Amino acid sequence: MKKSLAAAFGAALATLVALPAGAQAPAGKAQVVDAGYTMLTATVVRVDLKTREVELRDEKGKTFKITVNEAVTNLDKVLPGDVVNATMTESIAYEVKKPGQAAPGTVVKPGETSLKHGEKPKGVVGKVTTKTVTVVAIDAKAQTIRFQAADGEARTIGVNDPSRLVGVKVGDLVEITYTESMAFSVEKAPKK
């Protein structure tokens, strides 16, 4: 499910206008648009402590590099041959709010972090990004709705059935929350 942030917000907005015919977009109640997870097991090939870059090889033999966040304080404990297990989760939700219930803008909050010092790295890292956009136009004839972000970026999305926008008005806010987290552990290289 790995999405770019823009794609995640686009998916949430598209879902808002794709409610079943006659359904009302519920104000004040968050709706999950998409959720999923990916599991990964990889072997450490090389660790560059200076750049914090770790080269990994997946189960199919493909190598790739990642840059490890500064929150991982014990990167020096990771050695070639060690095994990295990770589960990455993502979810997207939206909530329609009336003016005054929220403010347009983007807020990024780090998720919970749990890392043990002195051992091979393990824990949970993540972040929650909430973007609130304003409904600036609803064109029933053209069957479109237009949203605008606080930074001025605007997006128009087509609506197949105008009845899907029952209860949504110009000036309403749509709060979109994109949550990413990764639970991971590094284990010693298996004995041969």
pLDDT tens, residue by residue, 61-106: 999 998 887 777 788 889 999 999 989 888 888 787 888 888 888 8
pTM above 0.85, yes or no: no
pLDDT tens, residue by residue, 114-133: 566 667 877 777 888 888 99
pLDDT at 48 over 90: yes
Q: Which residue, chain included where needed, has tokens 């206008």?
A: 17
